[in-house]
Structure 1
């Protein structure tokens, strides 16, 4: 067994690692180094957390194909919705009709089965339905995914016009829109030769009929007007009311309600501040 204890006074022996290092140093002395030192900045950049690696060619191609597939999917869905019956009309519902048959409304709308909902021209369909004489107002609405609703407001008569044995219904616009065999109960008769929405006298009459109270309206039998300022109402008991023009209707109705409690045959409220009652 070798004695590894160094004696006092004996010089220390260099170890093998030290000798090898000194030997390499000696050999490399004066010889240029080919190893490039790595800068701290490079080491810092490469060691920064969260830095993404440069995309590979395979990843780039994958992204391109995904984008192409997305575009193709959007185009396919657009084509199916816009140009096929996938989201087409399956049913047509009619709402609000009483006198008009539903079949007439559906026929007038002319909405073809399977028409794409987004291609449906609702305004054009409503315009076709509005041509029906009894239709006062109409709206066409989409009820997704495949139903179309036609909402109709029918015309309501405010008076009748007799022409021989025929009875014509007149609405609040003065339009003669229908002929019926029997006049509806509770409607006055227009004793006028020219009745139309464009006639000023007709417009005055229907305006007055829309403004007078119900308790007075049910007593009316005849309404006439030679001019817009000469509206006259005849009650069921034969009394005559000179209404005048179609202005201050609420004021005239209030004055007339008190005036009718007096005896007389002719009641003039054309000037409501100065009403008169006459026996003839």
Structure 2
């Protein structure tokens, strides 16, 4: 009886040991595919290269947090989530940063998202994005962030009309429209109200539209 029990114990240990080896050490359940989800402009092969996972590396021992950290080194990406999909796929889901404005830097056009992060530098900025004019542009500058918040929340019917954005303070944001007219926007508060009032007034001839207080609008 004791011999039988010992034999069963050895057999069980062998099975467990084999399973552990298969999962954690052998290439049998290794990474054979890296699936990229959510990328629109960043090439999948660039993301896979940044993930830096060797083929057939045991899927169970992939450091998902390290993969996410490495892939976030691509500045066009806002979020990264890595996951195991058994038996052999590493899935990397990303969300790209969306440029909302152009910041002139050294004769170039830096595309920035709503958080003030530069996603790309081009020779010329896209014509549909407004150009920012700031004294000290920075992802930590309250004035920059206020202006970007305003720009990123404008309705499509209005955003396409904005050519330039200037801000002397977080409460002193102004727009230059494509046709040369000026909009005094003020701060980032009551954006929906300001946009609705401005759109209703643009048919009236004026050089300056002050909607900083949407309840008391001034045209000049």
TM-score, with length taken from structure 2:
0.92
Q: Distance in 2 between matches of 1:142 and 1:81?
A: 13
Alpha-carbon RMSD: 1.7
Q: Distance in 2 between matches of 1:177 and 1:195?
A: 15
Summarize the alignment of residues 228-239 of structure 1 with structure 2, pairs less than 5 Å apart.
Answer: 228-239=170-181
SS in 2 for 1:243: strand
1:175 lines up with 2:117 in the alignment: yes
Aligned residues: 220
Checking the alignment, whether the CA contact within 8 Å between 1:171 and 1:177 is kept in structure 2 is yes
Checking the alignment, whether the CA contact within 8 Å between 2:100 and 2:112 is kept in structure 1 is yes
1:62 lines up with 2:4 in the alignment: yes
1:143-171: per-residue Cα shift (whole Å, max 9, x none)? 21111122222221111122343111011
Match of 1:155 in 2: 97
- Mind listing any 5+ residue stretches in structure 1 that lack a counterpart? 1-56
Q: Distance in 2 between matches of 1:172 and 1:150?
A: 24
Task: Return the offset for 1:244.
Answer: 0.5
SS in 1 for 2:127: coil
SS in 2 for 1:157: coil
Match of 1:93 in 2: 35
SS in 1 for 2:100: strand
Structure with more of its chain in strand, by fraction: 2
Alignment counterpart, residue 71 of structure 1, candidates 13, 20, 23:
13
Q: Distance in 2 between matches of 1:102 and 1:225?
A: 38
Checking the alignment, whether the CA contact within 8 Å between 1:212 and 1:253 is kept in structure 2 is yes
Match of 1:192 in 2: 134
1:143 lines up with 2:85 in the alignment: yes
Checking the alignment, whether the CA contact within 8 Å between 2:135 and 2:168 is kept in structure 1 is no
Checking the alignment, whether the CA contact within 8 Å between 1:94 and 1:150 is kept in structure 2 is yes
Q: Distance in 2 between matches of 1:134 and 1:95?
A: 15
Alignment counterpart, residue 275 of structure 1, candidates 211, 217, 220:
217
Task: Return the offset for 1:113.
Answer: 1.6
Match of 2:204 in 1: 262
Moved more, 208-217 or 160-169: 160-169
Match of 1:225 in 2: 167
Match of 1:201 in 2: 143
SS in 2 for 1:216: helix
1:29-86: per-residue Cα shift (whole Å, max 9, x none)? xxxxxxxxxxxxxxxxxxxxxxxxxxxx5xx543442233123211221122112222
Higher relative contact order (CA 8 A, sep 6+): 2
Match of 1:213 in 2: 155
SS in 2 for 1:70: helix
Checking the alignment, whether the CA contact within 8 Å between 1:174 and 1:197 is kept in structure 2 is yes
1:132 lines up with 2:80 in the alignment: no
